[in-house]
Each structure stands twice: as structure tokens, then as C-alpha cells.
Amino acid sequence: MRRIRKILSLCLIVIMLSNTVIFGEINVNNNIKGALLGDLETGEILYEYNIDEQLAMASITKLMTYLLMMEAVEEEKISLNDDVVISGHAASTEGSSFGILSGETLSLDTLVKGMLIVSGNDCATAIAEHVGGTVDNFVNMMNEKASELGLLSASFINPHGLPINDAETGQNHMSISDIYKLVRHILTNYPKLLEITKQQELIIEERNYQKEATNPLLTVLEGVDGLKTGYTDKAGLCLVSTLPVTGNGQDYRLIAIIMGAQTHEERINKSTELLKYGMNNYSQQKLVDMSQPIDKVYISNSKKGKIDVFPATDLNKMVGNEDIVKIEVTYNDTVNAPLIKGDKIGTISVYINEEETKQIDAVVGEDVKKANIFIRIYRFLLNIFGN
């Protein structure tokens, strides 16, 4: 079989509401240390600014604390129903506080809510002691987990993000790109986190406690259901926010990160602008579906003749409203029967705006038997003399 390229036309129809504001492009880079907008499922980055510099991360730290705690729960080492006796060290943790008292007993579940909704540093310390035995041991666990996840920029000195002093070594650090990786890992493995972070206030009746969540976007942009705020003098005002995009055939989740904003208004406005930009200018499309044949190919020595060709895997991509998508199938120089289901016979190349973004194996979707001698002679004669 000769090497053949087939270009398949792909039309993407994006349904936009008539009152939707469309941003051709945005720039949120002024007066911040870095920013990122990305998709949870695909990991695609739709907007970025200074995402690889190691930055002070303040209370964004608590996402790693949550991850280690949930892994311990999953391994049945601890339970969210555990009663935790609060140590003097935890109760005296400075900075943002849930107001826990030395010697009192609280459920681990309550401490988690106090850590994530109102950013209690004291809760983070108590959780660290419960999971790791000591804070020092827990911090070692944090750094080991960061290494395991490939978060090469991460450096932790405590479970909450409060700086020890003004020196660089007294801060927890991570790059925005690694924060994005961490958030994707947590939301993929522990999506129930959002049931906590979507709460606009924390109410604990038995403690006569009521306080608004630290995440300002929960009441500003409809649909936002997380994730974590942070602030120190060194880090500036930080926010990891997220929301699901559904309807009109869409079902994906955006993640926005703003680090080092100078004012509360800038943190809110820039986070909102990122998320709206993602919602209004992109859609997630299944460009290649492994359950659907992408082409038919004629294999001259096969029993059936024409054989359905399938992608070896699905391909979901975030596609801009004005992007042009092209799919090209290139077949191997030689494709002959017999073949086994799943055998590669070519390559599917996906282009967005003329740039190749992905290659996927083109495979046969069934066993392909070799034609007997009589069928091959018949096809040979048909090829010579015509129909």
C-alpha cells in the first residue's frame, strides 16, 4: 500500500450567548507577580505570565496540607471523624485563625473546614500534628510529596504558609506552573474538596462561630466554587480560583491563579477577567473519538477490502473560538493483512491554526483476515478490466 495522506475536514460550532462579552485578548500582567489560566482535564494553559519563577505562596500552602491529610484518610491511617486534641503549639499559631484552644477537642473534619474556608493557620498546624505526629515530620512529608509529584520548585518550611521571618528562607515557595500541577492533582483525585471550598461562610453552631470565607470570588462570579486564598507581605495577595463550565454541550473546569496582586480589588478583578476570558473564548472539544471510525482504508489483500480506521485514544482539546482545526491521517508505506485489532497502520495528526499539536496512532478496529487466492485474483482482474 502506498503512503497516503488524507486531510479530514472538521467543523467546530461554538454556540455563544448574544449578551456574552468576547475578549479577543487580555493582559492582566500589571502589578502582579504572575498569572495562569488552565483547564483541569487536559492540563492546557490558556494564559500565562511568569509561571516558572519560584514565588512565596503564603496560604496556598494549605492545599498541600489538605492533600497529605486526604492521602492518610484514603490509606485509612486516620479518619475525618477523628477527635483531635488541640496542642498548645497549634492553638498559639499566629496569623489567620479559627480560634482553637489548647486542650479542646475538635473533629478533623471541622479543622479541615477551618483551614480551607477561613484559612486558619492554627487548624493547619493541628492537622499537621495529627497526620505527621509532629510539624517537623509533616513538613518533611510535604517536601517529599512535592518531589514525588515533580513539583521541582516547591520548598516548604511549615504547613500553613505564614513566614517565619522576612528572609527568603523563611517562606514556603512554589512556581505558578507547579501550583497548577498540584491543584490539578488534588481536584482530579479529591474533587470533594469543592464541597468545602464552595461555602461562602463557615458556621459552627456548637462553637457559636460564624465567619465569611476568605475567597472573595465566591460572591462575585457565579459558578466559582474554590479554591484558596493567600497573603503575606512577601507573597502579596494570591488566589487560586476555579469554576465549572457546563451547558451547550460543554463540561470542563477552569483553574485561574493570580499571585502577588497589590490590592484586594486587583486580585478580584484579574481573577474574574481570567475566568471570563476562558469561558467566553474557549470550548473543550473531542477532536478525536476512539469509539468512532475516523476513516476507511482499502487493504487490497484483506478479506473485507475496506477497513474502518480508528484513533488509538481520545483527544480532548481546548479550542479557541477562532481556531482552525485540521486532522490529517497518514498511512504506513505498507499495510497488508493479516492484522490484529489495535495494530497501528498509520498516524493521525491534529493541527490547530496550521501547527501540529498532537499525533495519535491510527489503528484497525477489528482483526483483518487475509483474502483467499480466489478473492485476490478476482480483485486483480477487476482492477485491470474495470467494473
Which residues, including other chains, have CB under 8 Å from residue 380's CB and lie 6 or more apart?
none
To the query of whether residue 358 is one of the catalytic residues in this protein, the response is: no
- C-alpha closest to that of 61 among 160, 143, 209: 160
User: Which is it for strands 45-49 and 55-56: parallel, antiparallel or unpaired?
Assistant: unpaired
Strands in 5-9's sheet, in edge-to-edge order, are 5-9, 325-331, 344-352, 355-364, 306-311, 295-298
Q: What is the DSSP-derived secondary structure letter of residue 300?
A: T
Q: For residue 164, what is its C-alpha cell? A: 517565619
Q: For residue 21, what is its C-alpha cell? A: 462579552
- C-alpha closest to that of 329 among 290, 360, 368: 360
Estimate to the nearest angstrom the gap between the alpha carbon of 79 and the chain centroid: 26
Q: What residues are paired with 33 via a beta bridge?
A: none
Helix (H, G, I), strand (E, B) or coil at 372: coil
Phi, psi at 254, each rounded to 5°: -95, 145
Phi, psi at 356, each rounded to 5°: -70, 125
Among the listed residues 62, 270, 276, 317, the single catalytic one is 62
As a whole number of angstroms, the distance between CA 114 and CA 202 comes to 8
As a whole number of angstroms, the distance between CA 229 and CA 188 comes to 20
To the query of whether residue 119 is one of the catalytic residues in this protein, the response is: yes
Among the listed residues 59, 241, 283, 349, the single catalytic one is 59
To the query of whether residue 62 is one of the catalytic residues in this protein, the response is: yes
Among the listed residues 87, 96, 119, 302, the single catalytic one is 119
Q: What is the DSSP-derived secondary structure letter of residue 217?
A: G
Active site residues: 59, 62, 119
